[in-house]
Structure 1
Amino acid sequence: MTTEDVLLTTDAHGVRTVTLNRPKAYNALTVELKERLLATLRDAAETPEVRAVVLTGAGKAFCAGQDLKQHVALLQAGDPAPLRTVTDHYNPIVRTIVDMPKPVIAALNGPAAGAGAAFAYACDLRLAAASANFVMAFAGVGLGPDSGASWTLQRLVGYGRAAELMLLGRPVDAVEALRLGLVSEVIEDDELATRAHAVAANLAAGPTLTYAKIKEVLSAAATSTLDEALAVEDAAQTVLGATADHREAVEAFVAKRKPEFQGK
């Protein structure tokens, strides 16, 4: 385990668990935490031994979004850093999650607000503790959505519902989040970490090159015509058809045994 003030990371069974670690501040995002998170996610993307990622929070919250105490202090001091944080931090973090060539799971151990909720929306899967909730808190502080929320949220729940959640800023609890399609599973609080790691470990043992291509074609199809989507699928299938994992899967199917994937 690498333990530093604001971020914890553990690697086990091909899974890197990244824990936002400011529990007394509900894991609100300071400049230091944003910079560390971005560096850690980039390292996970580039490390072959990491085959799946879990993003979670310490304590009672997943992430409360921007640390407004630091934000206000910097604004009052005339520091331009708060005005650069979307460009320097939030956009690169979300881009890294979305482009990660391996599955990313948000393990929502509690409330997720603002940019914290947007980070979860950018992940491939969202598992929620029963105590979790989502709040699109941007309008309440006189700001519009950032961290990709305008793109990710409406693809999860549709334009109308996304507009409602952003304009009204009302909390969505875990049960409603499951009904809306914001999360794929709701789990008892004390079982979340174990369940999230089990899901991630199962993915880590799978054909990770295939997962990367699935993410790629889904992202491309979100903004393409049918013909463009077909072309991207064709190109991805050509690459995957030549992989060792595809051959192993086919041979295992014929031999009626469990495949052993290598991510190659």
Structure 2
Amino acid sequence: MYETIKYRTVNQVAWIAINRPDKLNAFTEQVNKEIQHAVRKASRDSDVRCLVITGEGRAFCSGEDLGGVTDEMDHGEVLRKRYNPMVLEIHQCEKPIVAAVNGVAAGAGMSLALACDFRLLSEKASFIEAFIHVGLVPDAGNLYYLPKLIGHAKALELAILGEKISAQTAKELGLATKVVPLDRWDEEVTAFSEKLAAMPTTAIALIKKNVKASWNVSVEASLENDAQAQRIAGQTIDHKEGVRAFIEKRKPVFIGK
């Protein structure tokens, strides 16, 4: 079904892997469109409760494939046509999305990781705001997510200086959820994503929605959002199961409904 990515589902987790290892998983128009399609597919699949985005080979994603860049290219239109729809598909997904950053995430590859909810980094992974090195501006949501994750001043520093950020530094800055040793990579990414898939899915969706909304609303509106979300969560099967499990002193078994 796909030519530039791999897609599979295992234990209610959808795995999306960019599959251009010889090009360090650099973006092309087809990669953008296939990621967008795969995220939409997983979002609509009731059997999927978590998504993982990663890269094949030794890189996560090295950004735009510069071999396709021409002097006549309108970079703004490229973003509107290719990158923005992909990022919005990720942003609007109600299910948790994990970026499994197995290697370098540069330029728009870093933007892709920032758009996800969690970032697990291999100890050999790195982030690079590569845009400045070719006279461009961080895009694909980069400057939307980065300041929210690490603050205004540090976001400016990373974006303008364009220095390589190691996995450990990314963890210290708050860009990485966890740094994973190479010999435990597959095991820990799988365990983390399957843990998310086993959690109360509706509650996660509501948490994501209200956290995003909190940046643009008053405290009064945020409190009302809490009330509305809690009303919905309180009617779920998972909430009832959680209460029963607490009373019965056992681990809850959530079904995502």
Q: TM-score, normalised by structure 2?
A: 0.96
Tell me the residue number matched to 1:180: 173
> Could you list the runs of 4 or more consecutive aligned residues of structure 1 that deviate by over 6 angstroms after TM superposition?
none
- The residue number in structure 2 matching 1:148 is 141
Whether the 8 Å CA contact 2:20–2:56 is kept in 1: the answer is yes
- Partners of 2:36 and 2:90 within 8 A in 1: no
Is 1:196 matched up with 2:194?
no
Q: Measure how far apart 1:15 and its partner are.
A: 0.3
Q: Is the 8 A contact 1:107 1:193 kept in 2?
A: no
1: CA distance between counterparts of 2:134 and 2:164?
Answer: 15
Measure the CA separation in 2 of the matches of 1:125 and 1:83.
Answer: 28
Instruction: Output one character per residue of 1:133-155: Cα deviation in whole Å (capped at 9) or x when no partner.
Output: 10111122222121111110011
Maintained 8 Å contact 1:38/1:89: no
What secondary structure, in the 3-state scheme, does the structure 2 residue paired with 1:91 have? helix
Residue in 2 that maps onto 1:32: 30
Mapping of residues 6-155 of structure 1, within 5 Å: 6-72=4-70, 75=71, 78=72, 82-155=75-148
8 A contact 2:63–2:110 mirrored in 1: yes
Q: How far is the alpha carbon of 1:186 from its aligned partner?
A: 0.7
Q: Give 2:256's match in structure 1, choosing from 250, 254, 263.
A: 263
Secondary structure class of the residue paired with 2:69: helix
The CA deviation at 1:193 is 2.4
What is the CA deviation profile of residues 212-251 of structure 1, one whole-angstrom value per residue up to 9, with x for unaligned ones? 0010010001222211211111111111111111111101
Post-superposition CA distance 1:109-152 (Å, at most 9, x none):
00101111011111111000011110111122222121111110
**Aligned letter for 2:94?**
P
Secondary structure of the corresponding residue to residue 185 of structure 2 = helix
Amino acid at match of 2:164: P
Q: 1:234 aligns with which of 227, 236, 243?
A: 227
SS in 2 for 1:197: helix
Partners of 1:107 and 1:192 within 8 A in 2: no
Amino acid at match of 1:59: G
Question: What runs of 5+ residues in structure 1 fail to find an aligned partner?
Answer: none
CA distance in structure 1 between the aligned counterparts of 2:217 and 2:76, rounded to whole angstroms = 32
Q: Using the alignment, how far apart are the partners of 1:66 and 1:234 within structure 2?
A: 42
Deviation sequence 1:74-115 (CA, Å, 0-9, x none)? x4xx566x5422112211222221221111001110010111
Confirm or deny: 8 A CA contact 2:6 2:19 kept in the other structure: yes
The answer to whether the 8 A contact 2:87-2:112 is kept is yes
1:217 aligned residue (206, 210, 232): 210
Q: What is the percentage of aligned positions where both structures have the same residue? A: 37
- Tell me the C-alpha RMSD between the 2 structures: 1.4
Classify 1:108/1:102 alpha carbon distance in 2 versus 1 (closer, same or farther; 3 Å): same
Query: Which one-letter code corresponds to 1:48 in the other structure?
Result: S
Q: TM-score, with normalisation over the residues of structure 1? A: 0.93
C-alpha distance in 2, partners of 1:14/1:201? Answer: 7
Name the structure 2 match of 1:162: 155
What is the CA–CA distance in structure 2 between the aligned matches of 1:127 and 1:184, rounded to whole Å?
6
